[in-house]
Amino acid sequence: MKKNISLIIFIFIFSCKNKNIEVTSISQTTYGVDSLKIKVKNTGDITAYDELYHSFKDSNEAESIDSIMVYSKIMSKKYNYKNAYLHYFDAICEKNNINPYEDFSDINLNKIDYSLRNEAIICLKKMLDGKIISKNDFDKIMNNMSNE
């Protein structure tokens, strides 16, 4: 029995040594960024969008927030992808120096440009419908806006 196990282990190790195994990390994109953008725009490919989103988030470039806003808006509005509503809302907040992760009652959308504020409210409503945020969190944000 020990000989059989040793033989199996030897064959496994030998076969692994002779194979060229490519290791890809999560942050590496399978397709080029341009190809991902096209897939998102033209077909609403969720996998391409998620990969593109993470690529932008990993980027230190100043325009990455603007890019997230563009593609999350496409995926949320055109393809109704519920995670994109959250990404779009987060990008709006980040662009306007609002941290949406501390406490919802601290989020003051009145400080945001009128058109972006309306976009943020639409995102919040969609996130509430999609059960991404609770009614309590939604109400905190809306009450904070009406208090000013």
User: How high is the pLDDT of residue 147?
Assistant: 66
* Segment 70-116, tens digit of pLDDT: 999 999 999 999 999 999 999 999 999 888 776 777 888 988 999 99
- Asked if 40 contacts 31 with a C-beta cutoff of 8 angstroms, the reply is no
Cα 30 from Cα 27, distance rounded (Å): 9
- Asked if 44 contacts 79 with a C-beta cutoff of 8 angstroms, the reply is yes
Cα 75 from Cα 97, distance rounded (Å): 23
Burial class of 41 by CB neighbour count within 10 A (0 to 12, 13 to 18, 19+): middle
Query: Domain segments of the chain: what residues?
Result: 31-146
Burial class of 43 by CB neighbour count within 10 A (0 to 12, 13 to 18, 19+): exposed
Cα 54 from Cα 97, distance rounded (Å): 20
51: nearest Cα among 63, 70, 35:
35
Share of the chain above pLDDT 70, in %: 76
- Asked if 82 contacts 46 with a C-beta cutoff of 8 angstroms, the reply is no
Q: Give the amino acid at 103.
A: D
Number of CB atoms found within 10 A of residue 9's CB: 10
Full-model pTM: 0.74
Cα 111 from Cα 27, distance rounded (Å): 34
* Segment 29-41, tens digit of pLDDT: 455 899 999 999 9
- Asked if 77 contacts 53 with a C-beta cutoff of 8 angstroms, the reply is no
Whether the predicted pLDDT of 24 surpasses 60: no
Q: What is the mean pLDDT of the chain?
A: 81
